[in-house]
Amino acid sequence: MRRINRGESGATANGIKHAFSPDPDALGLQLRAGLPSDADVLHVGTLPASVDPSHHAGVSRLLYAKFRCLPVFLPPDLHQRFYHGFCKHYLWPLLHYLLPLSPSSLGGLPFDRALWLSYLSANKLFAERLIELLNPDEDFVWIHDYHLLAVPTFLRRRSPRVKLGFFLHSPFPSSEIFRTIPVRDELLRALLNCDLVGFHTFDYARHFLSSCSRLLGLDYQSKRGYIGIEYFGRTITVKILPVGIDLGQLESVISSSETTAKIQELMDRYKDRILLLGVDDIDLFKGIGLKFLAMEQLLEEHPELRGRATMVQIANPARSQGRDVRRSRERFIQSQGGSMSDLENLDMSPLC
């Protein structure tokens, strides 16, 4: 869901007006298009706003009836420790090969067992929410991303017959990096509680298989494109499943009147100029500052491009919080404001 708020329009739950709208850019909703039209799909997730506990039941009924969504209500303090603590400040940097080597270094926080316990508590709440409506003999559960790595363990304990799939939307690091996680075995065994585990690329899958082999002593088989791991009498299938784009949505955006007007505006504004376009989140891994430095070097080495080349950078807000995000935002603002001041001509700024 994109938003939840109180307003003049919307549906009523417990006498309170709530306005809901689905996020058309959410990957979970886009994936529905790849399923059979008669598939009964239920989305389970958190809302991007707090809901008073007295309204939980009413909001749940409303979302289930109108959107086939089942919300998981995490207490605000638990959500903070789970999402912004363990997920974004520990697990996310580590999955991208950034180790917390020192308090002043780039990267996440050192491992904190209290944050790990919060991560487990949040994952358990997701699993308990699923159990409420789960039919293990007929339903398939598809879990997404590193925020919910422990959910398969909780579900398998409650329902041994449940059919579980997991897709990791982030990189899976090499075993040398993954082994630095104190709870590495718990995370690996959680994924092995699934029936199918999917990764973006073969390298990510290879790192996962290597971690299972080196850290858990498990063997895997690979033959004619099939990869499987034997674990406690079960075979876990490992698949490489690159995420594509929704062509229908892309075509609808491209053909819209707003897009046509924006294209014309850019063509008029930057007529006869070379445009370089970037769209990135302001976070540690996107390298917006490095992109600006590259643009600066390009103009230094090719002065004939000064006044002819412009880089348009669209910077989306970061989804996480903390020191590294603030530092990235500050660097972005500083780079945008002053890194090319000696190269700029009037009305010919190389950055927009």
How does residue 281 score in pLDDT terms, banded at 50, 70 and 90? confident
Q: Classify 164 in phi/psi space as left (phi over 0), alpha (psi -120 to 50) or beta.
A: beta
- For strands 11-13 and 16-21, give the pairing: antiparallel
Contact 125, 74 (CB under 8 A): yes
Answer yes or no: is pLDDT of 335 > 80. no
Residue 8: the pLDDT is 29
Question: Three-class SS of residue 33?
Answer: helix
Does 94 map to a domain? yes
User: Is the same domain home to 102 and 232?
Assistant: yes
User: Is the same domain home to 313 and 202?
Assistant: no
Distance CA 303, CA 342 (A): 12
- For strands 140-144 and 163-167, give the pairing: parallel
User: Is the same domain home to 303 and 180?
Assistant: no
User: Is the same domain home to 297 and 165?
Assistant: no
Strand partners, 162: none
How does residue 107 score in pLDDT terms, banded at 50, 70 and 90? low
Token couple for 232: 């406690």
Does 32 map to a domain? yes
Q: Which of 209, 240, 271 is the last residue of a domain?
A: 240
Does 159 map to a domain? yes
Token couple for 64: 């289930």
> What are 39-88's pLDDT values in tens digits?
888 999 998 888 889 999 999 999 999 888 999 999 999 999 999 999 99
User: Is the same domain home to 150 and 189?
Assistant: yes
Q: Which of 240, 272, 306 is the last residue of a domain?
A: 240
Minimum mean pLDDT range among 29-38, 123-132, 265-274, 276-285:
29-38
> What are 295-321's pLDDT values in tens digits?
889 999 999 998 888 888 888 877 655
CATH number for 306: 3.40.50.2000
User: Is the same domain home to 260 and 222?
Assistant: no
Residue 76: the pLDDT is 94
Residue 15: the pLDDT is 55
Does 125 map to a domain? yes
- For strands 196-199 and 234-240, give the pairing: parallel
Answer yes or no: is pLDDT of 33 > 90. no
Q: Which of 240, 274, 296 is the last residue of a domain?
A: 240
Please give the average per-residue pLDDT across 16-20, as a whole number.
Answer: 70
Please give the average per-residue pLDDT across 5-17, as a whole number.
Answer: 44
Does 171 map to a domain? yes
Q: How many CA atoms lie within 13 A of 74 on its CB side?
A: 24
User: Is the same domain home to 38 and 156?
Assistant: yes
Dihedral angle of Cα 237, 238, 243, 248, to the nearest 10 degrees: -20
Please give the average per-residue pLDDT across 237-258, as a whole number.
Answer: 89
> What are 173-213's pLDDT values in tens digits?
999 999 999 999 999 999 999 999 999 999 999 999 999 99
Beta strands (DSSP E) in the chain are 3-5, 11-13, 16-21, 43-45, 69-71, 140-144, 163-167, 196-199, 220-223, 226-231, 234-240, 274-281, 309-316
Does 351 map to a domain? no
Does 246 map to a domain? no
User: Is the same domain home to 233 and 305?
Assistant: no
**Residues in the chain, total:** 352
Does 321 map to a domain? yes
- Count other C-beta atoms under 10 Å from residue 296's C-beta: 18
Domain total of the chain: 2
Residue 289: the pLDDT is 81
User: Is the same domain home to 278 and 129?
Assistant: no
User: Is the same domain home to 18 and 43?
Assistant: yes
One DSSP character per residue, 201-218 reads SHHHHHHHHHHHHHHH--
Which amino acid is it at 229? I
User: Is the same domain home to 217 and 335?
Assistant: no
Contact 278, 310 (CB under 8 A): no
Question: Three-class SS of residue 106?
Answer: coil
Which structural domain, as residue segments, surrounds residue 201? Answer: 3-240
User: Is the same domain home to 56 and 142?
Assistant: yes
DSSP conformational letter for 146: G
